[in-house]
Amino acid sequence: MTHFRSDIRQRAEELVSLYPRRRSAMLPLLHLAQEQDGYLTDAGMAEVAQLTGTTPAEVRGTAAFYDMFHLEPVGRYVVGVCTNIACLLAGGEELLEHARRSLDCEVGGTTADGLFTLEETECLADCNVAPAVQVNHRYVHTTTPDQLDQLLEDLRAGRRDHDIPPHGTLIRVRRSGGLRVGATELAEERREAREAREAREAAAKEAS
């Protein structure tokens, strides 16, 4: 019995197989766990620990380093408003304050209906459309209070479901090609090539 749904579990195992060492799949797997549960549950982290050969403490410790991972439940939509330098100069703090009042929700908190979580973000690398706003890590290009309110309304009404999936779903494009050509085979070849190379080098060293 796994905590991951069977389709998620299958994708998780595919992810692990992409890397030379399974711990490398940690971040993608944690994203996947959030895709299933919306945030990182204890059971989800335990399964990631098992898949990556780490301890639950290491999974939690690693996850807690990164802003995108949530150890507590968050809203269906995580709204991030940037207030870093370029956005600050374009009114980022004022837009964040507007969002706070519109949503009636503290920064870092979640609305009573569980729909929205509001965050103050660092630079979102969209400084030419400042202040930058993301919802579930999708750029929404809403730089004015009015645009932001419209967006919130659209989200509530489900009018953005096509381009803004629920929080946690990061990459909707599945890897296809890599698995088909056999990452494991390549890894095997790589290993052989490396061993041959090392043998050569050792021989060369021996000779000199």
- Cα–Cα dist 83/79, whole Å: 13
In the complex, minimum distance from the CB of residue 113 to another protein, in angstroms, rounded to a whole number: 24
In the complex, minimum distance from the CB of residue 112 to another protein, in angstroms, rounded to a whole number: 26
**Count residues contacting another protein (CB under 8 A)?**
77
199 binds another protein (CB under 8 A): no
In the complex, minimum distance from the CB of residue 92 to another protein, in angstroms, rounded to a whole number: 9
Here's the x/- map for another protein, 140-159, by CB under 8 A: it reads as --------------------
Burial class (CB in 10 A: 0-12, 13-18, 19+), 123: middle
Interface pick for another protein out of 14, 109, 145, 187 (rule CB under 8 A): 187
Footprint on residues 47-106 left by another protein (CB under 8 A): 49, 52, 54-69, 83-86, 88-90
**The token pair that represents 84 in the structure block:** 């870093």
List b or e across 107-116, with b for residues whose CB sees 16 or more CB atoms inside 10 angstroms. eebbbeeebb
CB-hemisphere CA count at 13 Å for 193? 6
Interface pick for another protein out of 5, 101, 141, 197 (rule CB under 8 A): 197
Instruction: Name the helix (H) or strand (E) containing 199.
Output: helix 183-207
In the complex, minimum distance from the CB of residue 23 to another protein, in angstroms, rounded to a whole number: 4
In the complex, minimum distance from the CB of residue 99 to another protein, in angstroms, rounded to a whole number: 18
Here's the x/- map for another protein, 5-24, by CB under 8 A: it reads as -------------xxxxxxx
- Cα–Cα dist 61/134, whole Å: 26
Footprint on residues 101-130 left by another protein (CB under 8 A): 121-128, 130
